[in-house]
């Protein structure tokens, strides 16, 4: 009886001390960290898990559990996790989310972790900061060119990719055949995941070297933004866009392109691997986003990053930082972006895709001839700003207001947010 009491007292004293560490201890005293992201499904099967396995081999005692899903589903999970303080230890981030998540206290500033580990921040291509604190590193950056179905182009007698808006409109007309469920362009405008405003609407403004901001403030009523809205409206009115835009999300447009129903699609370089895996027979290429007629300057390239950060509520910040710094190291970052066919987050990383894949060599040429443009990155409640504009664009396409009215109403609502 005395031995049982001693054993019970020992357990009583030890278990709370384990809880207090905040670590999930396995049989060997190891820690498991969760990593939520949308990257794994967009990479060749097994390739991202292989990188995690290498990390685990180099960091005995740390295991990585991947929480993977499509972009929109991952965003919803992160929003829920932030609100309920159950966010995974390591978090895949879109630059548009950083402002909100940081202000909520959902993600942690990584400056202290950098300093304590001797990590050199100068090796990072672009650190996303808020109030001088570092919240996100871009692991990989992807430009958004126009994807072109070459077989549909040849079938429609179109010799060259469109270089300006007039050529894009003409190509969309020749590609569209509603009886065959085939359309020139696809436009996702779901309010649930409104990043179509960033990637598929405002990209027309940036492609002509123009802006939606003035001195860091909203400037949606300028002639360049209104011109882009008017152009999109003309495509919609002629039914050159596949039906159902108001409910479509990013993965839906990729699905339609994969199935050969879309002639042209604005999308991330990250989707090239997915498209190739899903439809090995699809003959496609990429080209720079067409500019406004008569524009001859450098084109802004819409882009998105696979960003990474650490949850503020994580009980494993040191282990989480080890994974973040591992993915940002030159060799590993170069390996990852080579698999993803993206541009590196570490300035010393050297991806090999430029020499090994003609399509990505073309992407690199597009990249060198333009400049990266995404004015939503770092804006307050950036996703809500997209949603506000999305609502006005839907009303415009529904014939309930003009492009000028859509821009003016969105401008008014944005100013209230700012």
What is the model's pTM? 0.74
pLDDT in the model for residue 157: 97
pLDDT in the model for residue 380: 81
User: 79 by DSSP, 3-state: which?
Assistant: helix
Using alpha carbons, select from 373, 411, 374, 404 the residue that is nearest to residue 389: 411
pLDDT in the model for residue 13: 38
**How many Cα atoms are found within 13 Å in the side-chain-facing hemisphere of 307?**
24
Q: Are strands 371-373 and 183-185 parallel, antiparallel or unpaired?
A: unpaired
**Cβ proximity of 141 and 125 under 8 Å:** yes
Going by pLDDT thresholds of 50, 70 and 90, the confidence category of residue 304 is confident
Report pLDDT digits (tens) over 112-164. Answer: 999 999 999 999 988 888 889 999 999 998 889 999 999 999 999 999 999 99
pLDDT in the model for residue 28: 52
For range 38-52, the mean pLDDT: 95
Report pLDDT digits (tens) over 398-410. Answer: 999 999 999 999 9
pLDDT in the model for residue 8: 42
For range 257-285, the mean pLDDT: 93
What is the C-alpha to C-alpha distance for residues 311 and 308, in angstroms, rounded to an integer?
10
What is the C-alpha to C-alpha distance for residues 287 and 178, in angstroms, rounded to an integer?
25
- Encoding tokens for residue 85? 């303080």
Going by pLDDT thresholds of 50, 70 and 90, the confidence category of residue 19 is very low
Res 235 pLDDT > 80: yes
pLDDT in the model for residue 365: 84
Instruction: Tell me which residue has tokens 């031995």.
Output: 3
Give, in degrees to the nearest 5, the angle at Cα 224 between 221 and 226. Answer: 50
Res 202 pLDDT > 80: yes
Report pLDDT digits (tens) over 315-356. Answer: 999 999 999 999 999 999 999 998 888 888 998 887 887 777
Report the topology of domain 146-287+380-417: D-Maltodextrin-Binding Protein; domain 2 (3.40.190)
pLDDT in the model for residue 191: 95
pLDDT in the model for residue 253: 96
What is the C-alpha to C-alpha distance for residues 231 and 59, in angstroms, rounded to an integer?
53
Give the residue, 135 or 371, on which the prediction is more confident. 135
| Percent of the chain topping pLDDT 70 | 93
What is the C-alpha to C-alpha distance for residues 263 and 252, in angstroms, rounded to an integer?
15
Q: Are strands 213-214 and 146-149 parallel, antiparallel or unpaired?
A: unpaired
pLDDT in the model for residue 394: 98
For range 225-253, the mean pLDDT: 97
For range 174-201, the mean pLDDT: 96
Res 18 pLDDT > 50: no
pLDDT in the model for residue 41: 92
Going by pLDDT thresholds of 50, 70 and 90, the confidence category of residue 29 is low
What is the CATH code for 2-141+304-358?
A: 3.40.190.10
On the question of a common fold for 2-141+304-358 and 146-287+380-417, the answer reads yes
**Domain layout of the chain by residue ranges:** 2-141+304-358, 146-287+380-417
Q: How many helices (H) and strands (E) does the chain have?
A: 18, 14
Of the listed ranges 16-20, 197-201, 354-358, the least confidently predicted one is 16-20
């Amino acid at each position: 009886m005395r031995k049982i009491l001693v054993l019970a007292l020992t357990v009583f004293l030890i278990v709370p001390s384990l809880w207090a560490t905040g670590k999930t201890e396995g049989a060997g005293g190891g820690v498991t960290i969760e990593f939520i992201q949308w990257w794994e499904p967009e990479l060749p099967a097994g390739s991202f898990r292989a990188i995690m396995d290498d990390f685990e081999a180099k960091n005995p005692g740390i295991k990585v559990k991947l929480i993977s899903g499509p972009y929109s589903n991952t965003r919803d999970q992160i929003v829920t996790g932030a609100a309920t303080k159950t966010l995974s230890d390591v978090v895949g981030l879109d630059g548009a989310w950083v402002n909100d998540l940081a202000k909520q206290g959902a993600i942690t500033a990584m400056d202290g972790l950098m300093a304590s580990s001797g990590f050199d921040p100068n090796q990072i291509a672009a650190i996303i900061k808020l109030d001088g604190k570092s919240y996100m590193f871009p692991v990989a950056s992807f430009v958004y060119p126009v994807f072109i179905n070459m077989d549909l182009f040849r079938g429609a007698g179109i010799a060259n990719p469109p270089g300006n808006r007039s050529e894009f409109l003409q190509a969309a007309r020749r590609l569209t055949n509603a009886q065959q469920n085939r359309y020139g362009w696809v436009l996702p405008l779901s309010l649930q995941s409104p990043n179509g405003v960033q990637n598929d609407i405002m990209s027309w403004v940036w492609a002509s070297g123009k802006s939606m901001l003035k001195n860091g403030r909203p400037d949606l009523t300028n002639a360049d933004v209104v011109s882009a809205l008017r152009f999109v409206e003309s495509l919609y009115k002629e039914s050159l866009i596949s039906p159902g835009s108001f409910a479509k999300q990013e993965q839906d447009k990729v699905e339609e392109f994969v199935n050969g129903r879309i002639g042209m699609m604005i999308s991330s370089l990250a989707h090239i691997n997915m498209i190739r895996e899903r439809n090995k027979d699809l003959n496609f290429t990429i080209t720079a986003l067409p500019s406004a007629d008569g524009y001859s300057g450098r084109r802004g390239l819409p882009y998105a990053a696979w960003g990474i950060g650490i949850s503020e509520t994580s009980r494993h910040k040191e282990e989480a930082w080890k994974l973040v710094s591992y993915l940002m190291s030159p060799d590993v970052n170069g390996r990852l972006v080579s698999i993803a066919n993206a541009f590196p987050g570490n300035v010393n990383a050297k991806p090999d895709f430029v020499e090994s894949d003609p399509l990505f060599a073309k992407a690199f040429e597009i990249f060198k001839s333009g400049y990266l443009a995404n004015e939503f990155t770092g804006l307050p409640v950036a996703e809500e700003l997209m949603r506000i504009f999305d609502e006005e664009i839907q009303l415009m396409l529904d014939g309930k207001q003009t492009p000028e009215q859509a821009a003016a109403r969105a401008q008014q609502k944005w100013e209230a947010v700012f």
